[in-house]
Structures are given as C-alpha cells and as structure tokens.
Amino acid sequence: MKEKVEELKKEIEGYIVGTAEELEQYRMKFISRKSVVGDLFNDLKSADAEIKREMGRTLNELKNLAQDKFKEFVSDLDNKATDQKLESVPDLTLPSAADQLGAQHPILATKARIIEIFERIGFNLSEGPEIEDDWHNFSALNFPENHPAREMQDTFFIERDPDIALRTHTSSVQVRVMENEKPPIRTLSPGRVYRNEAISARAHCVFHQVEGLYIDENVSFKDLKQTLYHFVKELFGKDTKIRFRPSFFPFTEPSVEVDISCNICKGKGCNICKYTGWVEIGGAGMVDPNVLKASNIDPEKYSGFAFGMGIERITMLLYQINDLRLFTENDVRFLKQFKNIK
C-alpha cells in the first residue's frame, strides 16, 4: 500500500490540467468517492489497528495533497478565463480609427481642372444628351453621307432610318448651342461619348471628351493657337510647347492635330512619347462654313474655331498612366493613389 501511495503522490504532483474537462477527469480520479484515493481508504477499513493508524496518516496526507492540487487547478483555470475576457475587450483608451474617405476619380478631377482653365478665359459650360439623332451627331457637322464614322463598326446605333445613336463625340452639343444661341459663342462641352471599338490599353468603347467652340466676328487661327497654348501651359506647366500638324475633320477647315512637348522627358524622348519628344492631345481647326450655315449662322459675318480632346488621354499624360482600362476597372488600389489630387 505504501508503494501505491508514493506512486499516486508522484502522479498528482506531476499532473497538468488545461481545460475544464481535464479538471473533471482529475476530480473523478483523485477526489470523488469512487477515486483511487477513496478505494485506498476502503481497503484500510479491513486492516489491523496498527496499520490503520500508520497508513491513516499517510492516506490523509495523500488526500490533502490531491485536494490542494485541485484548488490550485481551479484557481489557474479561473485566472486563464479572466485573462481571455480581458483580451477580448478592446482598449477603449486608443484613438478611434480614421474615417476612410474616398477619392475623386482621376477622370473627374482632370475634367474639373480643364473646365476651370477655360472658364477663367470666358468659356461657359454646355451639356447635351448622350443619345443623339443623325442631324446633331453627323449631318449638321458636315459629315458626308458615306463617311465611315456613320457606319456600324464605329457607331452604336439604337435605331436606323431615322438614325438614332449613342453620340460619338460631344460636337453634337456644339450644334445644339449654335442652334439656340447667337454669336458671340464661347462654350466648353465635356461629356461621355461612345464608339464601337475593341477595348485595349489605348482604346475603349466609352470615354470622355471635352470640346470647345468659339464663334464671333474676326475669330482667326491665331486665336485658336493662342487659346490652346494658354491651356496646355496652365495644365502641363509653363515650359510646355505646342505643335500643330495638318489634318482633316469634316467639321473644320483647315484642321490640325495638336501635339504638346512630352511632359515626362521634357522633349528628350521616352517611351511615353515613343522617343519623338511630342505627344498628341487632340484635334482642332476653324469651323467649316457649312457647319455655320447648317445652324443658320452667317459664315460671311462670323468665323470660329473648335477643338476636342480625350479626357482619358490627358489624364494618362498628367499622371503617367499606361493603361486606359484602369479608369473603369474600379480597382481600389489604383483609385486610392489619387487621394491627394485636386
């Protein structure tokens, strides 16, 4: 019996309890009536008086050891539970998390900057419908009957004959202004336009344009040049140079493509400007007399210029963005980068 008691003492001393279930197992084994300790007390009942006295003391020591250990386990588990509770309570003295404010979309930010520049030199703002009839989108702008832009591959038609389409440019807004206002006209038309193009890093079927129109007596090509020169210096910096290349549009004569000196390499040559030092930003020209006539403006008395630019293109040049699709993919990592632009 002595040996058995020594064995149990060692077992109790080395016992480890981590959970409430383990504590219950311990209690069943060493504390309860049917425990090994209880069994030993039962065995002692039938022993001699001498042994009873001697072993009684030893068994009582074992019983006390088991109970002390039990109290220790209970207290440890209690502390553990309290610690866990404390950990799950947030630290109320910490400062609160900052509000996650969104950012203005880069396209809208660029649009606002362009509007601001032209408003300061007397241009007002005009807007029009995105679903247009043939007259406002094509015919009034001197598009010949067989012009490729009218064809299915370029234009999203909603109805044919009479043609109703998603506008392919914001020039349609200028037609509406010319119909309703008398010169002098100085207006800027920003907005969304649609063309049936395959989506790639450089093209999209939905994009934004901003077009300008100035009609008055004695408006010359010189005014067009100076206005655009002022604009690019304001937007891209005062050292920006401007270059016109002859081009053709149905609604202007003469027509030009407008380039600016590359704002990234400052004209030295880089992969954005394809090592030419120049990047195209849009088209422009003197309003074709046929366009003035179509809106009942006398081309003998009045002349004017018009220009158009893609807002995506301008934004890509301003922030060195190399893929147009980023604007519409709603990737928060991309949009977050524009938090601080104004």
Across the beta sheet with 303-310, what order do the strands follow? 124-125, 185-194, 206-216, 303-310, 278-287, 252-261, 242-249
Bridge partner list, 243:
259
Span interacting with Zn ion, options 6-14, 89-97, 125-133, 256-264, rule CB under 5 A: 256-264
Buried b (16+ CB within 10 A) or exposed e, 212-237: bbbbeeebeeebbbebbeebbbbbbe
Residue 253 assigned ligand-binding role: yes
Residues in the chain: 342
Q: Burial level of 110, CB count in 10 A (0-12/13-18/19+)? A: buried
Q: Is position 265 an interface residue for Zn ion (rule: CB under 5 A)?
A: yes
Q: Is position 273 an interface residue for Zn ion (rule: CB under 5 A)?
A: yes
What minimum distance in Å lies between the beta carbon of 142 and Zn ion? Answer: 35
- Strand boundaries in 111-267, DSSP class E: 124-125, 131-133, 157-159, 164-166, 185-194, 206-216, 242-249, 252-261
Q: How far apart are CA 300 and CA 206, in angstroms?
A: 38
Q: Which of 141, 215, 262, 287 binds Zn ion (CB under 5 A)?
A: 262
Q: Is position 260 an interface residue for Zn ion (rule: CB under 5 A)?
A: no
Q: Which is nearer to Zn ion, 175 or 279 (CB)?
A: 279
What minimum distance in Å lies between the beta carbon of 291 and Zn ion? Answer: 35
What minimum distance in Å lies between the beta carbon of 177 and Zn ion? Answer: 36
Q: Which is nearer to Zn ion, 55 or 235 (CB)?
A: 235
Q: Which is nearer to Zn ion, 70 or 236 (CB)?
A: 236
Q: How far apart are CA 279 and CA 52, in angstroms?
A: 108
What is the 8-class DSSP label of residue 31? T
What minimum distance in Å lies between the beta carbon of 317 and Zn ion? Answer: 10
Q: Is position 318 an interface residue for Zn ion (rule: CB under 5 A)?
A: no
Q: Is position 140 an interface residue for Zn ion (rule: CB under 5 A)?
A: no
Q: How far apart are CA 308 and CA 193, in angstroms?
A: 12
Q: Which residue is nearest to Zn ion (CB)?
A: 262
Q: Which is nearer to Zn ion, 263 or 303 (CB)?
A: 263
What minimum distance in Å lies between the beta carbon of 279 and Zn ion? Answer: 7
- Which residue ranges make up the annotated binding site for Mg(2+)? 253
Which residues of the shown chain bind Zn ion in the complex (CB under 5 A)?
A: 262, 264-265, 270, 272-273
